[in-house]
Amino acid sequence: MVHDYRRSAVSLMMKLHREKRRKSLISAERLRRSGLALSFRLKMEENGKDKGPIVLALDRIPEGSGDLLSRSIAILEKVHPYVCALKLNRHLVLPLGLFSGIRRIVDKAHNLGLPVIMDCKINDVGYTNRVIAENYFNAGFDAVIANPFVGWEEGLQPVFETARRLDKGVILLVYMSHKAASEGYGQKVLDRETNKLKPQYVVFAEKALAWKADGAVVGATYPSKIREVHEILGAKVPIYSPGIGAQGGDLKAASEAGSKYFIIGRSITLADNPAEAAKAFREAAKRLM
Amino acid sequence: MVHDYRRSAVSLMMKLHREKRRKSLISAERLRRSGLALSFRLKMEENGKDKGPIVLALDRIPEGSGDLLSRSIAILEKVHPYVCALKLNRHLVLPLGLFSGIRRIVDKAHNLGLPVIMDCKINDVGYTNRVIAENYFNAGFDAVIANPFVGWEEGLQPVFETARRLDKGVILLVYMSHKAASEGYGQKVLDRETNKLKPQYVVFAEKALAWKADGAVVGATYPSKIREVHEILGAKVPIYSPGIGAQGGDLKAASEAGSKYFIIGRSITLADNPAEAAKAFREAAKRLM
């Protein structure tokens, strides 16, 4: 019941938003500036429909003329028509600084109509997690990625509270794309309620559902895990899959298993023609939808 | 055998280093500048003996005159005689920027003879973990904190490799200080080799031993966990305990259970007189040694 109501409300808000946009009364950018921000989840739904399901991970930036900031923005400007969101990580945050270079990239992405996700994999104590989330949200980010391993009380609760207050998003890690993911995300853990063993990623998917996360990360390199997690989450929590291309993940397999968004980095940023590469991924993804 | 050899070598190097220092031929600072850096582990051993076991966590900086950077450095200047190392977290890194403000704090700490630990709780894929570690080490940090949950291959292996190459340290999270630590760090997991259940923090302590970590973090709020972890690690991996003071941890209980270093933040930085507060913690800790 609660969920149906929420889905109807979301649907109505999206309809209203589309109508307003059609009448050119209000743009997403003006909406943002007015303080009446669309929630992260809604922005992703909208953009996914308009621009396809590819999320650009602006991590590895090739050498070239100009400084790191201008080279990063140049790629974003070329690629933006073919992606629905931007994801940043410490690759750029550490050298460029959050409130200097990074803020300029975030503003540029917003001006191009893209929400921006900070892949900070929050996993500290709650008091520090809140400070981390507040800093990224203050710099303009629309969502943060967090690790459910730290738990709720004095763990991720303050992150969700901060995000809800500011109309931002929280995406949880459920199964990562690297080889040793099996050590932690793939281990069997004892469920305290049922006293039965279950995979760690199932526990994390259940937390994503219970905590009303705005997304769940499952590596594209493990389609069978995507399928299992999708069976738990259904349409309630969309799956974001990194690891396509450079890390060996396959877009078709991930899509068929239930991923909604595909995070692609090096296969776009290091391509001879990043725009063409992004467009090709977008077209491939659209054919699967 | 390997370990005894290593311990003898460490002991000999420390003896040589102390002798050199006594003869005023070389100071730690000149050693550092000469490129012949003492490893992080050795620096901590030395400083722990000279200056006591308190690690200053410069996180929450009270309001006052001057900007955040100058207020942070002012506390460090007051407190440095009573602490053996400095630990920073995103509280300062995000607002100040790594290669602007933070580098100045790190340089100041080094000039005061303190190694600096970056509490970044690394938990990404290996490719990104390496970039994170390299950035912090390039900014002057002597050690990074990482989460063993991400595992070894394409996980923390690149962090350890980078640290070894640069003579830096890696400290692993084993049991954190917050309430929900029981959800992840305290869960029971299936050991693949023995097919028996064991606590997650025992698995992590075993990884700290196997991966030759330079330290293990166990929250001072859980002395019984410190005791269990200390039984696994012995003198091979020193235990760092945060959560003393503001989070409710007790220095005496943590020390008796086996902690070697005590990470203290708000109970020093927010005290009316930070130097007196740090000194009091140091004296209390020295009485227990």
What tens digit of pLDDT does each residue of B179-235 get? 999 999 999 999 988 999 999 999 999 999 999 999 999 999 999 999 999 999 999
Residue A121's closest CA among A204, A188, A190?
A204
- A270 interfacial to chain B (CB closer than 8 Å): no
pLDDT tens per residue across span A38-57: 799 999 999 999 999 999 99
Chain B positions in Cβ-Cβ contact with residue A181 (cut-off 8 Å): 150-151, 155
ipTM confidence score? 0.88
Q: How far apart are CA A274 and CA B226, in angstroms?
A: 51
Region A260-267 average pLDDT: 96
- B121 interfacial to chain A (CB closer than 8 Å): yes
What per-residue string of b and e applies to B190-206 under the rule 16 or more CB within 10 Å gives b? eeeeeeeeebbbbbbbb
Residue B85's closest CA among B43, B120, B132?
B43
Task: Give A31→chain B minimum CA distance, Å.
Answer: 27
pLDDT tens per residue across span A181-201: 999 999 999 998 899 999 999
- A68 interfacial to chain B (CB closer than 8 Å): no
Q: What is the pLDDT of residue B35?
A: 44
Cβ pair A91:B154 closer than 8 A: no
A87 is catalytic: no
HSE-CB for B153 with a 13 A CA cutoff: 7
Q: Model confidence at A14, in pLDDT bands (50, 70, 90)?
A: low
- How many CB atoms are closer than 10 A to CB B110? 18
Chains A–B, number of C-beta pairs less than 8 Å apart: 146
Cβ pair A125:B177 closer than 8 A: yes
pLDDT tens per residue across span A211-230: 999 999 999 999 999 999 99
pLDDT tens per residue across span B74-99: 999 999 999 999 999 999 999 999 99
- Find the CB nearest A149 among B135, B149, B177: B149
Cβ pair B178:A135 closer than 8 A: no
In chain A, the domains with their CATH numbers are 1-36 (no CATH), 39-288 (3.20.20.70)
Q: Model confidence at A9, in pLDDT bands (50, 70, 90)?
A: low
* Burial (CB count within 10 angstroms: exposed 0-12, middle 13-18, buried 19+), residue A145: buried
Q: Facing residues of A173 across strands?
A: A217
Q: What is the pLDDT of residue B244?
A: 87
